[in-house]
A and B are shown apart, each in its own frame.
Chain A
């Protein structure tokens, strides 16, 4: 998010999902697409199978998409900047860059060139263990395509260098002129149904809806007027990852948590739990009594998606309708109703006769949503930015120019992960999702069939490591990091590479996030979920 915003001026997917079928080359990295975004993976697989697109997969795990890939680069964990710089090194050296694009639409090329100079394929091989011939081949394939799309997810962002990783991918796309064109783009595939919408609507400490900064006086005045208050706070607020430690030292006294379960999802959860326990007042609003809700002073029952009207904005910036199909159980209410009633009780009258009225208010104060109406998205959703009612929406961003004028290259050096393996903790652990469960499992673990297929947490380990530790399928192992330990079942699989184990994080009884490192990306505030050092031992 922050990385793309710095490079282009907008943090969302640049191209739409359907456009993937127009790409000549698709580069997928840090995304196990077939399991995490299954329907997007069908676009990628169809592009490869029916349209002759070439696929480059860069991933330490042997994910399903590698079977469709023309080139698979298996990098060491946390070495993404190195291989991306390496590709750019080759592209510049072999003069495969899009000179016209670089000249007319970007800035900062000279600095980039200087930095990537030393990332020779040989040097990169040492860091990433990607054979130099393969790196060169991938660089050529990406650069020579008329249009090449990049897709990535948390495998790129959940590192201390997450923002820099994203900027590096942006560099690569800028270098080859792959922006503002069909079949191109840099596309972060977002994990949860409405992350995009939560950001768009100002569920962030620094911006109102439509990414309008809270620090801009004019905007603050506009919002204050629209909301009928005399003034609004002008200081950028705290990120989740800052609120947690501040709750521990009592500078945060109350937390109001809506529809999240940080006790299972956040890094180093024993720390998070302590923080939630130490606030004076904790309110949790959710559809189930989650592990987080159990710690609350007050729990408010909310409606599920099928029980309310509204809109979600998907990963491609498409705003689609959510429609009420049934009534919520018991006395549960839609989240907006609860908040409106609470606001009214706190002396600020908030009342809307229906959800569309809220949307109309959003349109009024949010330029990028101004042209979207419920009537227009009755059949099919629209892509923001959509500034006017006669605007057809924007499936592909940055066609003529970037919101910040020129695209910015960022010269970035490779930095190793925050935690290194050593004698005591000799294995790398990476975490992620699986097809059959979702996030903290609050919903999927209540679906019988899904649990039958994927009933429990596992530790995926390469056959080589399994042999070293004398482990076989079904054995129980204890995985320990500097922060905690978790016991789970062994799954020997050639999906894992030697020295790296994988665990899904959905299971609260074996929470992988007991182990993960809360070291933060300094800009985005995202913890390094994807790399930490662990040791394992068979449980008798």
Chain B
């Protein structure tokens, strides 16, 4: 089947939404409440509304299936005016004083406000009794920035299934809105979002509950604004200042793909990379457990023990010494008197080199590693 988006002819399969088709053809449609990995779009924010030629009402691209021959406009005047209005409402809902926000330059709301020319808020009228707190040592909640898009709810209930977000009444303080349904293991994110929608105007906001949150950070990665951010984003350099390197997590055997954000030879931030096996998801260790890399007590020089005490040595001295001692022991007691522990922590290339060294140079098969699962 075929439709056109902004005059571009697009092929699609029945059942595909306008947003899916646009994404495939690299046509931008703004989204806030839509989370790719979630089981179903919530259609809550309305920002993705597009115009269909011949129809008065705009439709939401994230939930509307395309029809054969449909002519879709994503950036018509009508769309822009509609989006500007939504954005101005969103701005008025919170207290978006961007200079105090941890993520200037990587805020999706900020980008859209610029793009569609929305007016800022009247700070004299904006309410100021918001809550800013660390829910866990890693996760910082600033309720003044929340746009109630519900992405964090989808991230936590649909993707990670940690079911740790609850609804809070915010008025200087945050009071949890209790609901038995939220405590069930199979509760749908939709139920919670509906609950939020029902009280759209009231200051009730979603946030991680410290009693259930396991600091996986899925919600942090999903949050389009500065409402749920990590302590590292709050304290470190800004994302756009940093180089991004994709690599593999060094903790457990899942092998999650990470994006390391690097500046001045230091890792400041880790995000989940959208690749297999994890497709953006991480756990607390992979996402927040990276500070050991630059710990002060990292070994920086070879050490040789003399009279029971270590002293620093040059590489030349240390390696010559090791080579000499190993050669002596090999000569005196035979190659099988030497054993090597390989490691589940080092790379394949390093393990390969180590077994080659053990077998070809030391001349023994005494090589093994500690993690004999």
Contacts and interface: CB of A to CB of B under 8 A. Distances in A.
A229 B277 CA distance: 40
A339 B247 contact: no
B159 A191 contact: no
Contact of B185 (A68, A154, A251, A253): A68
Given A345-B319, A362-B348, A198 B254 contact: no
Interface in A316-364: 316, 318-327, 329-336, 338-343, 345-348, 350, 355, 358-359, 361-362
Given A205-B368, A450-B285, A524-B372, A329 B343 contact: no
Q: Is the interface of A mostly helix, strand, loop or mixed?
A: mixed
Contacts of B159: 42, 46
Contacts of A49: 158, 161, 185-186
Of A257, A340, A359, most buried by chain B (CB within 10 Å of CB) is: A257
A405 interface: no
Contact of B337 (A251, A329, A361): A251
Interface in B286-344: 286, 288-295, 297-305, 310, 315, 318-323, 325-327, 329, 332-333, 335-344
B345 A193 contact: yes
A403 interface: no
A343 B355 CA distance: 12
Chain B's interface size range is: 35 or more
A362 B290 contact: no
Contacts of A325: 243, 245, 247, 260, 262, 267
A63 interface: no
Contacts of B278: 39
Contacts of A312: 248, 250, 255, 347-348
B76 to A, nearest CB: 36
A211 B291 CA distance: 36
Contacts of B319: 338, 341-342, 345
Given A193-B345, A255-B341, A446-B295, A331 B315 contact: yes
A289 B341 CA distance: 17
B245 A201 contact: no
A209 interface: yes
A318 B267 CA distance: 25
Contacts of A379: 275
A114 interface: no
B17 interface: no
Nearest to B184: A67
A36 B342 CA distance: 22
A296 interface: yes
Nearest to A437: B285
Contacts of A259: 343-346
Contacts of A444: 285, 289, 292
A40 interface: yes
B361 to A, nearest CB: 5
Given A17-B277, A326-B262, A320 B371 contact: no
A297 B368 CA distance: 21
A192 interface: yes
A146 interface: no
Given A306-B260, A315-B255, A239 B347 contact: no
A500 B63 CA distance: 51
Contacts of B360: 224, 227, 229, 232, 348
Contact of A326 (B266, B297, B357, B368): B266
Given A191-B373, A312-B250, A448-B137, 20 more contacts: A193-B251, A202-B351, A203-B367, A252-B337, A257-B340, A258-B350, A280-B325, A301-B299, A322-B248, A326-B265, A326-B266, A336-B354, A339-B350, A350-B357, A358-B353, A361-B352, A362-B352, A449-B231, A450-B289, A452-B137
10 contacts: A40-B254, A191-B373, A197-B347, A258-B340, A288-B299, A325-B260, A336-B347, A336-B350, A346-B361, A443-B250
A-B interface, 5 closest residue pairs, ranked by CB to CB distance from nearest: A330-B300, A314-B255, A237-B365, A310-B347, A203-B342
